[in-house]
Each structure stands twice: as C-alpha cells, then as structure tokens.
Structure 1
C-alpha cells in the first residue's frame, strides 16, 4: 500500500515508519524541516518538505504522492505545550483531511488519546462519550481530540487509535523525559488517578495493523490500568528518582483508564508489554 505519512519523524513515527516499510508498504513522509527530512529518509521512507498548516501546498503534496491511505501521527508536544498540540489536532488535521479528500484517498489512520472520556467508575470503552463538559484546563485538549476525530471520520474508511499514555524511548516517560524530570524533583503525584499505558513500540504495531481494520475508534493500551499510587513509585524506582509521597486526594472523575477489549478480542491486536510494570522495568537496564 502507498501511504502518505504525517508525523513520521515524531516519537511514534520513528518506530512506525520502519515497521511499515518492513511490512512492504511504500511510504511518503511529510517533513517540515530539513532535520525531519533527513530522519524520515534514514528510516526508509521518501521524504517531502511541506507544512501541514499550508493547506494549498499540502494538497498538492498529497496529490503528487498518490497515496491509498494517509497515516496521521502528528503531535506538537516537544516543549510540553498542550495549546500547540490542540492546534495541530484541529487545524493540522482539517488540512490533512481536506488534502486527502482532494486526492481521492479512501482511508486514514489517526492518532488520538484514551484519556479524553467523560468521568466514570470503570475503565472507558470506545462507546463512552468524550468529556466535552470538563473544566477549562481540560476542555481545550478534549475539544482538539473531538475535532480531530470528527474530521477523520469524513473519509470513507477511518480508524482512530486512542493511545494510552506513551512511555519508552523518546517519550515523556523515560530517563531524561519531562515526567522523569518532575519525578526527580519530587513533583510527580502518587495519587488515585488511573492511567492506561502503552509502550511506543506497541503504538506502532497497532498502527500497522489498523490499515486493515474496520472504521471506528479503538483504545490502544496495555492490560493493566493503574492508579498513580501504584505506577508512580514503580516509575521513580525504575529511573532512580526519589520515592514519592503518597497523595490522599480522591480520584479525578475522568482519570479512569481505558478498556482495550475491542483491540484485543475483536481486532486481534496484542501489546508486547502486557503491563507497564514490565515496560518500566526495562528502564533499569
């Protein structure tokens, strides 16, 4: 399959591009800058220089690539700026979907998140509504997710991958990453909030398989949702950070984790790390 890839030099892309090439796909990767261009080339794809915010140029690039599918793994989290990330989910996705439609592309696979669901007691399945009535500090993120997912669903065939919290090489949750720095400073709370986790390599494996999945959203996370009181001490121990103090605050309603039953039982995807426990342990090596 010929694939136009947006986000190929990112955290997931650095694992996903080689996996797609190894699976026999022909990948054209969008690069905003020369260093990204060089990275995409080194990963085995054909790089093209362009900007997802330049709608006209992007449309011409997608048309010229003549892809059968678009792979959307764009994020903008390098500096920890959630506003910039919301912008790429809204405007960046809008431009990418419009370009795909103009080029007659039938299928898109797009990255989303699994912690945008409304509050609840159990890990959320895909039919749970998004938390569009959340507080101001959360609303921008969820609205960005909703905009992305709505735009992607305009194509005839679409899969939204609602990733768990990513960890592993290049993510915030690895040695030297943003959350590791907070842990080392004693600022990562060991509280009751529940997270679902996903190793970055497993994100890539799901995206490859999603090229043949039926349309719809899919939670992509491991089998072990966990409260911060459980995973934060393990993360700190793995990276050599001080043991955190346990918080007595109650769980935030939306911090409920996600249910991966659809991916596991209906679609046949299995994470290589069944739990963050084994994944975090790799940091000790």
Structure 2
C-alpha cells in the first residue's frame, strides 16, 4: 500500500514509519526540513504551502494519507491550533485532489463535553465550552475531524495523554520538571494515558478500520490523586506537594471499549501503572 505520512519526524511519526516499512508498505514521508528516513522516500514540504503540498502528494500517488502533524516542540499551543485548522485543510485538500481513498488523522481524547463517567466516541465534543481557551482548542479538534471525514474513508485517532520516550511525560520531559518542582497538583481530574508506542501501532491498525473516530487510550483512566504520585516516583521526583486542584468538569477520561472489543486493538502497555516504569 502506498502511504503518505505527514509529521513523519514527530514523536509518533518516528515510530510509525518503521512499522509501516516493516509491513511492506511503500512510504513517502513529509518533513519540513531535509532529512532522510531509512527505507522511505522523504520529501520536503510545508503544510501551509497549499500549492506545493498538492504537488508532493500528487507525485507520491498515495492510497492513504496519515496526518500526524503537531507543533508542540516549544509548547506553542497557538501554533498547534493553527496546524490543526490550516495544516489539516491543506493536507486533506491535497489528498482529495490526488484521489486518496483513506485519511487517518491524529486527534485527542480529552475534547469531550463535561459529564459523569468515561467518554465514548458518541459523547459530543465540548465545542461550546464557556472558557474561551478551551472552546478554541476543542473547535480546532472538531474542525480537524470534520475535514478528515471529507475523505471516502477516514479514521480520527483520539489519542490519550501521551507518555514515554520523547514525550512530556518521561524523565527529563516537561512534566517531569514540573513534578520535580512540586507543581503537579493531585485531585479528582481523570486522565486517560497512552504510551507513545501504542499510539504508533494504532495508526497502523487503522489502515483497515471502518470510518469514524476511535478512542486510543490505555485501560486504566485515573484521577490525578492516583497517577501523579506514581509518575513522580517513576521520574525520580519527590512526592507531590502542590495542593489538590478542584474538579474540572470536562476532565472525565475516555474509554477504549470500542477499540478493544469491536476493532481488536490491544495496547502493549495496558496501564500507566506499569507503563510509567517501563
């Protein structure tokens, strides 16, 4: 299968591309900077250059386009919102113009509206959130998924909070620094985590999944009061000292029931409880 991967040098992309190559797929990798990836054709391009992007996608003649684009290296959340809106628009347009059959995009599992219990794929997104910052963030996620769904076949991978090598949640990462400074509060807010290797593996599996959004999270959503002390210990930080945070209504976690029972996806790291120490 011919696959075009946008974001091939990102945290997930660097793990995804070798998995695709190992399965015998013909991969074209998009990078903003000239760089060679083993076993694939690497093309240089800018997702904000709509015309140029159309040219490189058309030249690759892909059957599938994978959208793993983010812009969070400098924790620039505005840049990440822009790539979700403008970058996705240009990438999907290029895919449709090239006759691509399937688009698989990276989304998130914490954009759901407030409520009791874990969110499922049918839970509405929090597009009318009263907080302007969250409303803008969720709006960009909703736009990304709506554009992805313009393809004849599509999957929006609603990833949990990524942890593991090269993420914020690892030794030397941003959240490890926050834990060391005693700035990670405990409390009742629920997080659904996901090891970065499982994120890449799910993207490969999505090549054959039916169209729709899918929660890709581990089996154990947890309150900050449970996971923060464990994470701090795993990165060599002292026990948490920040006061507990009040309940955030939308921080409800998500369930992977659809991915596990319907699609047959099984995470290699089923829970953060062991995954933090892996």
- When normalised by structure 2's length, the TM-score is 0.98
Is the aligned partner of 1:98 residue 2:93? yes
In the other structure, the counterpart of 2:3 is 3
Provide the C-alpha distance between the structure 2 equivalents of 1:109 and 1:117, rounded to a whole number of angstroms.
20
Is the aligned partner of 1:83 residue 2:78? yes
SS of 2:277 mapped into structure 1? helix
Q: How far 1:250 sits from its partner (Å)? A: 3.3
How far does the alpha carbon of each residue in 1:109-161 deviate from its partner, in whole angstroms, 9 at most, with x for none?
11000000000111100000100122112122111101100000001000000
Q: How far 1:190 sits from its partner (Å)? A: 1.3
Q: How far 1:247 sits from its partner (Å)? A: 3.6
Alignment equivalent of 1:177, drawn from 173, 180, 191: 173
In the other structure, the counterpart of 2:219 is 223
Pick which of 187-196 and 160-169 moved more: 187-196
Q: How far 1:246 sits from its partner (Å)? A: 6.1
In the other structure, the counterpart of 2:268 is 272
Is the aligned partner of 1:191 residue 2:187? yes
How far does the alpha carbon of each residue in 1:14-35 deviate from its partner, in whole angstroms, 9 at most, with x for none?
110000111111100001112x
Q: How far 1:192 sits from its partner (Å)? A: 1.2
Provide the C-alpha distance between the structure 1 equivalents of 2:264 and 2:136, rounded to a whole number of angstroms.
33
**Cα pair distance change 1:48/1:248, threshold 3 Å:** closer
Q: How far 1:213 sits from its partner (Å)? A: 0.3
Is the aligned partner of 1:64 residue 2:72? no
In the other structure, the counterpart of 1:205 is 201
Provide the C-alpha distance between the structure 2 equivalents of 1:81 and 1:220, rounded to a whole number of angstroms.
24
Is the aligned partner of 1:73 residue 2:68? yes
Provide the C-alpha distance between the structure 2 equivalents of 1:108 and 1:272, rounded to a whole number of angstroms.
24
Q: How far 1:249 sits from its partner (Å)? A: 3.8
Is the aligned partner of 1:109 residue 2:140? no
Provide the C-alpha distance between the structure 2 equivalents of 1:218 and 1:280, rounded to a whole number of angstroms.
23
SS of 1:281 mapped into structure 2? coil
SS of 1:127 mapped into structure 2? coil
How far does the alpha carbon of each residue in 1:244-278 deviate from its partner, in whole angstroms, 9 at most, with x for none?
03644432110000010100000000001110011
SS of 1:265 mapped into structure 2? helix
5+ residue gaps in structure 1?
none
Provide the C-alpha distance between the structure 1 equivalents of 2:246 and 2:180, rounded to a whole number of angstroms.
24
Provide the C-alpha distance between the structure 2 equivalents of 1:267 and 1:208, rounded to a whole number of angstroms.
13
How far does the alpha carbon of each residue in 1:29-49 deviate from its partner, in whole angstroms, 9 at most, with x for none?
001112xx23xx23x321001
- When normalised by structure 1's length, the TM-score is 0.95
Partners of 1:198 and 1:220 within 8 A in 2: yes
SS of 1:27 mapped into structure 2? strand
Partners of 1:117 and 1:129 within 8 A in 2: yes
SS of 1:211 mapped into structure 2? helix
In the other structure, the counterpart of 2:49 is 54
Q: How far 1:237 sits from its partner (Å)? A: 0.3
Partners of 2:184 and 2:242 within 8 A in 1: no
**Structure 1 vs Structure 2 CA RMSD:** 0.9
SS of 2:215 mapped into structure 1? strand
